[in-house]
Amino acid sequence: MERDPNCVFCKILDGEIPSAKIYEDEKVLSFLDIAPFNYGHTLIIPKYHAHGISDLPEEYRNAVFAAAAKLAPAVMHATGAAGFNLLMNNGETAGQTVPHAHLHIIPRFADDKVLLGASQKQYQGTELAEMQAKIQAKIAAREA
C-alpha cells in the first residue's frame, strides 16, 4: 500500500511530522535519524508503506539502494567518517522499531564502539551443508 495513516514514516512522507531532510526523489526520502548511533546517521525510506525488504515493490527497493550508494559518500565526507554501515532491520526480533522498510547509513569512526555485541557462531559437522540445502530448497520452491 502507498501509505499507512498510523505509520510514523508515512506521516513524515506526508509532511505531518517534520524531518531533517537531506535528499528526496520520486521514490525515496532521506533524513537524519533523530536518535543517531553517530552524528550524521541517516535513514532512507521508500515512498511506499511496506514492512520490510521482501514485501517492498522492486522499483522502490532498487531506489532505496541506489540512494544509499549516492548518499553514503556525502555522509562520510560531511562527517569525516572513515567508513559506514548500511543496516536494515527486518522484523521486531531483528530490532525493527518502525514497521516501514528503511535503510540506515551509519557513519563509522575508529573505536566508536557502535554496533557492538555481535558474536559469530561456528557450524559443526554437516550443519553448514544442511543449512545450505535447506535455504536453497526454499528458494527453489518460491521460484517454482
- Of 27-35, 47-55, 105-113, 121-129: span binding ligand AMP (CB under 6 A): 27-35
Would you say 17 or 135 has its CB closer to ligand AMP?
Answer: 17
> Quick check: 40 binds ligand AMP (CB under 6 A)?
no
Figure out which of the listed residues 1, 35, 118, 139 binds ligand AMP, where binding follows CB under 6 A: 35
51 classed as catalytic? no
- Of 52-60, 64-72, 92-100, 118-126: span binding ligand AMP (CB under 6 A): 92-100
* Residue whose entry in the numeric block shows the C-alpha cell 543517531: 36
> Quick check: 114 binds ligand AMP (CB under 6 A)?
no
Written as one letter, the residue type at 8 is: V
Contact 12, 32 (CB under 8 A): no
Q: Give the C-alpha separation, 32 to 12, whole Å.
A: 12
Going by C-beta distance under 8 Å and a sequence separation of 6 or more, which residues neighbour residue 97?
89
Q: Give the C-alpha separation, 106 to 86, whole Å.
A: 6
Catalytic residue among 41, 49, 102, 104, which?
102
CB of 56 to ligand AMP, least distance (A): 14
DSSP code string of 49-81? --SSGGGS-HHHHHHHHHHHHHHHHHHHHHHT-
Catalytic residues: 102
List of residues contacting ligand AMP (CB under 6 A): 8, 17, 19, 33-35, 43, 89, 95-98
